[in-house]
Structure 1
Amino acid sequence: MHSIKRRKHTRLGFTYLLLGLVSLSIFYPLAWTIGASFNRGNSLVSTTLIPKNPTLAHYQALTKTSGTFYYFQWFLNSLKISLFTMVLSVILVSLTAYAFSRFRFVGRKNGLTLFLLLQMIPQFSALIALFVMAQMLNLVNSHFLLILIYVGGQIPMNTYLMKGYLDSIPRSLDESALIDGASNTRIFLQILMPLAKPMLAVVAMNGFTGPLGDFALSSVILRDPKAYTLPIGLYNLISDKMGASYTTFAAGAILISIPVAIVFILLQKNFVTGLTEGGTKG
């Protein structure tokens, strides 16, 4: 009995230790970023975790514009691209996953295989082709083109995730609705989508955060400073060897985390499972 309790306490202690290490690896860099944003000066050499003389100067510097610096314009550009990507991704992924999950058609298996293969191609391998396409279409500096690229990149993997979730919803719900005279559109909108809210939340979160963290694609398509997204603009703050400002970069990075936190709070109630329990008629 004592050996069983000892093993139980050992496993519990190991679990808490692992959770503590993971939490430390997440929150420690975040704490340094917050601290750096309130430290004086531009260098990280003199930065401390807890600022001795905290200042809001770096946040105030973000409000100033110049020929190459438009922080709040970049902020709005990133939000616009992320919101449109999120909405279009949810709509298209839902429709695609529904088709693959509930219908049988020629090319279905090959289509799923193609989606899987597309995930194996590195993103940067298409950069040259995308830039040439943007030039041919006269869409360099176009947020519309960037949104389409992001949405297209979201579809394959998210379709796999959504299809797997829809497959777990009993088909008897569809059959009961069909007997009652419901159309496929009504089944999709009023039965499957409400039950698939947890996965819709995952797709929405992926669609929103993906563009906010992307640098490679956006830097190829966007060349005008006013059209930049935040990753490009903030990178330019630290890429200048003579005038790099790591503390202002930290302040800008903290502000962009606010919309992500808001979206997560709005979606977190949908990050649950078991919504289909009791949905089948007995």
Structure 2
Amino acid sequence: MSSSRKVGNMLMYAVLIITALCVLYPVVWIVAGSLNPGDSLFSSRLIPDTLSFAHYQYLFTETDYPLWYWNTFKIAFWNMILSTVLVVTAAYAFSRFRFPGRKQGLMAMLVLQMFPSFMGMIAIYILLLQVNLLDNHWGLILVYAGGSIPFGAWLVKGYFDGIPRSLEEAAKIDGASDVTIFYKIMMPLSKPILVFIAVTNFIGPWMDFIFARLVLRSDEKKTLAVGLFEMISGRANTEFTNFAAGAVLVALPITILFFIFQDQLVNGLKAGANKG
């Protein structure tokens, strides 16, 4: 191996190690803070002298944390189902059918991705108010599902474009309808991209704060992001270690999902980005 290649490898490993340390240090600090006694993160030790689970117990016995968790899971689950159905059916239509306005629709979805979602906050608030879905979980789910269509449809369309049309033509010769082709041929061949879309649409509501804060008003409708924010907002609140414990529990489902579906997530993202 040449000396220049050795130097390049050393630099690459050095960058990777520094990046890993920058990512892992805040995570370790939050976990340590959640296990430290007291209320301040500044007095917490990176390696606690004694481990205390009092903050986790406090969340489940003294706050509405279980309710926030359930509300967030419900919103994330139904958004995952609805968004996946809308994204996949829209992508299949744009990939396999030719109809008036197809190119304009694709271009419109591409342009919509250029604007941040919070630019429509006022319009979304007024719309939900008029249809009586303000302070309603389904109002939030519909906002998330509609917002996921532009990016998701483009990504899944790219994956569908890479599936040979000869499979559908052979099925049509055998008398299969478009619905049968969609469910019996396209869906089994599209598992990686389906998993990617489903997981990302589950994670989005789980981590969102802006729209949840805008739409949800009553205490019994709060999500994790809103509830945890209100725990530490204001000068009188000193529940920072309780917040750290709540943040650790928030990260658990996402971490588990990534460990379970990491292969499908990577393959789905690469295939959807490269094909079409």
Task: Indicate which of 102, 124, 131 corresponds to 1:130.
Answer: 124
Instruction: Give, in whole Å, the separation in 2 of the partners of 1:159 and 1:151.
Output: 12
Instruction: Give, in whole Å, the separation in 1 of the partners of 2:129 and 2:81.
Output: 27
Task: Indicate which of 3, 9, 16 corresponds to 1:12.
Answer: 9
Instruction: Give, in whole Å, the separation in 2 of the partners of 1:99 and 1:138.
Output: 31
State the shift of 1:269 in Å. Answer: 4.5
**Corresponding residue number in structure 1 for 2:102:** 108
Report the TM-score, using the length of structure 1 for normalisation: 0.90
Code of the aligned partner of 2:153: T
**Corresponding residue number in structure 1 for 2:47:** 50
Is contact 2:193–2:267 with CA below 8 Å preserved after alignment?
A: no
Task: Indicate which of 60, 63, 67 corresponds to 1:63.
Answer: 60
State the shift of 1:5 in Å. Answer: 2.2
Instruction: Give, in whole Å, the separation in 1 of the partners of 2:175 and 2:158.
Output: 26
Uncovered stretches (5+) of structure 1, i.e. residues with no partner: 277-282
Code of the aligned partner of 2:6: H
Is contact 2:31–2:245 with CA below 8 Å preserved after alignment?
A: yes
**Corresponding residue number in structure 1 for 2:274:** none
Instruction: Give, in whole Å, the separation in 2 of the partners of 1:8 and 1:217.
Output: 49
**1:119-176 deviation digits (Å, cap 9, x = unpaired):** 1222222112222222222222100110010000111101111001111111222222
Instruction: Give, in whole Å, the separation in 1 of the partners of 2:215 and 2:45.
Output: 37
Residue 162 of structure 1 aligns to a residue whose secondary structure is: helix
Percent identity over paired residues: 43
**Corresponding residue number in structure 2 for 1:27:** 24
Is contact 2:91–2:154 with CA below 8 Å preserved after alignment?
A: yes
Code of the aligned partner of 1:5: S
1:233 is aligned to 2:227: yes
1:41 is aligned to 2:41: no
Instruction: Give, in whole Å, the separation in 1 of the partners of 2:86 and 2:135.
Output: 24
Report the TM-score, using the length of structure 2 for normalisation: 0.92
Code of the aligned partner of 1:237: M
Give the 5 Å matches for 1:1-282.
Answer: 5-65=2-62, 69-271=63-265, 273=267
Uncovered stretches (5+) of structure 2, i.e. residues with no partner: 272-276
State the shift of 1:179 in Å. Answer: 2.1
Which sits farther off after the overlay, 69-78 or 136-145?
Answer: 136-145
Name the structure where helix makes up a greater proportion of residues: 2
Query: Aligned Cα RMSD in Å?
Result: 1.9
Code of the aligned partner of 2:59: L
Code of the aligned partner of 2:159: Y
